[in-house]
Amino acid sequence: MNKQSAAVGVLVLAAGLVILLGKLGVFAFIGSVFWPLFVLVPGVLLHVLYFGRIVPSIVLVPAGILTVVSLILLIGNWFGWDLMKYLWPFFPFAVAVGLYEYYIFGYSRSKTVWTAAISLAALSIVLFGMTLLWTWGIYLLAIVLIGFGAWLVLRRPRIW
């Protein structure tokens, strides 16, 4: 057997295996579960290219955004998309991470970039807190009112 027929045999075997796995639904499952990795890989690649001194520091902005957004999408994909009602404030946080990376690792230390990054991060935290307050806040309010009412009843002097 020569090398060409062995190479053709390996290619035919690989093609058959790919077709069989495709018909069994392996690729559909992997694609449906791990599709946010197609967003994560470019973000990590941009980080690697910057720290390898191949691209300028401005690529850290989209690198940070892509990395954080892909993590949000992975959480939503794995644990259910209903979590997006809590996780949506992290999308502006992704921009804050990108800007902060650019400020820390970039060559120009612009105060404007730092201020924008910190402002977006603070806004995201405030929005996340408000989201939790509006979704779980009524339960917290109920517990506080019950505790305060119990304290008023138990602390009240007994005159009757």
Please write the tens of the pLDDT for every residue from 99-126.
999 999 988 788 999 999 999 999 999 9
Q: Using the predicted structure, report yes or no on whether residue 160 has a pLDDT greater than 60.
A: no
- Domains identified in the chain, total number: 2
Does any domain span residue 26?
Answer: yes
Q: How far apart are CA 112 and CA 145, in angstroms?
A: 44
| Whole-number percent of the chain with pLDDT over 90 | 55
Query: Residue 22 sits in which domain range?
Result: 1-33
Please write the tens of the pLDDT for every residue from 63-97.
999 999 999 999 999 899 999 999 999 999 999 99
Please write the tens of the pLDDT for every residue from 28-68.
777 777 888 899 999 999 999 999 999 999 999 999 999 99
Does any domain span residue 41?
Answer: yes
**Judgement on whether residues 20 and 62 belong to the same structural domain of the protein:** no
Does any domain span residue 160?
Answer: no
Q: Using the predicted structure, report yes or no on whether residue 1 has a pLDDT greater than 70.
A: no
Q: What is the pLDDT, as a whole number, of residue 60? A: 95
pLDDT band at 158 (very low <50, low <70, confident <90, very high): low
**Judgement on whether residues 15 and 44 belong to the same structural domain of the protein:** no
**Judgement on whether residues 99 and 144 belong to the same structural domain of the protein:** yes
> Residues 86, 76: contact at Cβ < 8 Å?
no
Does any domain span residue 133?
Answer: yes
pLDDT band at 156 (very low <50, low <70, confident <90, very high): low
Does any domain span residue 147?
Answer: yes
> Residues 102, 61: contact at Cβ < 8 Å?
yes
**Judgement on whether residues 87 and 114 belong to the same structural domain of the protein:** yes
